[in-house]
Amino acid sequence: MLNYRYLIALYICTSLLYSCSNKYKAFQSRYKFSSDDGSPAYQHLNYWAAHPWKHDPSDSVPAPLRNERRDTLVDVFFLHPTTFTKKKYKHIPNATINDHYINAKTDYSSILYQASVFNQSCRVFAPRYRQAHIQNFYTSDTAMAKKAFDLAYEDIRNAFQYYLQHWNNERPIIIAGHSQGALMAERLLKEFFEGKKLEKKLVAAYIIGWPVPQDYFTTLPMCKDSTQTGCVISWRTFRKGFVPSYLKKSKEIVLATNPLIWSTDKRYAPKQLNKGSVLTKFNKVYERTTDGQLANGLLYVKKPKFPWSFLYFTSNYHIADINLFYLNIRENVRQRVSVMIKKPY
C-alpha cells in the first residue's frame, strides 16, 4: 500500500505543472533543426522557445481569462527552469541545443505554464540554451558544475545581447526566471543592470525558485509593495513546517517575497487573497488554493486544495512556485507595468 501511495504521489507531484512525457514526444517533430557548431544562433527563431514573431505556447491564455484586455507595452526576458533531467544522461554536463525531446518538453511545460503568465502585459522572449543537467546541482564535482552553468549562461548572455541589439528598441523590460533560469537571471542582472544604464528600464525581476542572498545585489532592492519598479521579487514554496535537508544547516540570510501581498515582511496572507492557480488543466483556474507566509527566507503555505490534492503528499512545492500564484503574478505584472510606463527615462 505504501508503494502504491508513493507512486500516486509522485505522479500527482510531477503532474502539478508538467504533463506526461508522451505529450512531449508528440511535439518533437516540430523541433528538428540543427546548429553548425552546437551553439544557438539567436537570429533564427528556432533558438527561441518563445518569441513575439512566432506562435508558441507562451501565447496561450487560460480560457477564463480570454476576455482580458491585453496591452503589451513592455518585454519580458524569461529563462526557463531545468528540463534536462533524465538520469541516464547525468554524465552529460549540458543539453544540446537541438534536442527535440527537451525542446518540446520545455515548450509544453515551462513556456506554456510559466512564461504565459506574462503575456497580458508583455511581449515574451524566452531563449533556448544549453542548460546544465539537473545533476550539476547535486554533484560534488564543483569544477564540472561551474563549467556547465557557465556554458548555460554564455548562451543566455548571447541571447540577451542579440535581443537588446535587434528587438528591445528602448522598451522597458522584465527579467524573469524559475529555478536554473532564476540562477541565470541573477547573473544577467548583475552584469547588465546593476549600476548600469539599463537599470532604469527594469520594470522588475521575478527570481523565482532560487534564493536571493542578502548581499547579492548592491543597487537593486527587493520590492517592498505591489507597484514598486526597478526591484527584485523572489520566493521558494514549501509546505508549512517543512525544512529541506539541504537548508537545515544553512546560515545564509536570504531575501524573499510573499506573492499574495507583495511584501517582504512576515505577515500571514490567507488563502482568500490567492486569486487563482493554473495547474495541469491549463484552461481551468482554481481559486483560493493556498495561503502564504514568509519565514527564514522561504514561503510557507498550507497544503494546496485542488481536485485530488488529498493524494499530493510532497512538502516541496518548487515545481509549482509560479502556478500556485498564477493570477496574482499576472495582476502584479500589470500593476508594475502601468506604473513603469508613466515614468520618464
Inform me whether the pLDDT recorded for 313 exceeds 50.
yes
CB 336 within 8 A of CB 228: yes
Inform me whether the pLDDT recorded for 15 exceeds 50.
no
Judge whether 333 lies within some domain. Answer: yes
Contacts 24+ apart (CB under 8 A), 138-147: 144/93, 145/93, 147/93
In our burial notation (b when 16+ CB lie closer than 10 A, e otherwise), range 313-338 reads: ebeebbbbbbbbbbbbbbbbbbbbbe
pLDDT in tens, 146-203: 999 999 999 999 999 999 999 999 999 999 999 999 999 999 999 999 999 999 999 9
Judge whether 345 lies within some domain. Answer: no
Handedness of CA 69, 176, 117, 132 (dihedral sign): positive
Judge whether 171 lies within some domain. Answer: yes
How far apart are alpha carbons 76 and 118 in whole angstroms? 7
**Structural domain harbouring 48:** 2-340
Contacts of 90 (CB under 8 A, 6+ apart): 133, 134, 135
What is the Rg, in whole angstroms, of the alpha carbon atoms belonging to the chain? 19
Percentage of the chain beyond pLDDT 70 is: 88
Inform me whether the pLDDT recorded for 22 exceeds 70.
no
Inform me whether the pLDDT recorded for 128 exceeds 60.
yes
**Region of 116 on the Ramachandran plot (φ > 0 left; ψ -120 to 50 alpha; else beta):** alpha
Number of structural domains found in the chain: 1
**Per-residue confidence band for 251, with pLDDT thresholds at 50, 70 and 90:** confident
Judge whether 136 lies within some domain. Answer: yes
For the packed helices 142-163 and 180-192, what is the interaxial angle rounded to 10 degrees?
A: 60
Judge whether 91 lies within some domain. Answer: yes
Q: How far is CA 67 from CA 63, 64, 123, 182, in A?
A: 9, 8, 18, 31
How far apart are alpha carbons 106 and 78 in whole angstroms? 12
CB 83 within 8 A of CB 70: no
CB 73 within 8 A of CB 172: yes
Inform me whether the pLDDT recorded for 305 exceeds 70.
yes
Q: Which of 323, 322, 303 is nearest to 314 (CA)?
A: 303
Q: Greatest CA separation found in the chain? A: 63
Cell numbers 544540446 correspond to 96
Q: What are the backbone angles phi and psi of residue 186, rounded to the nearest 5°? A: -60, -45
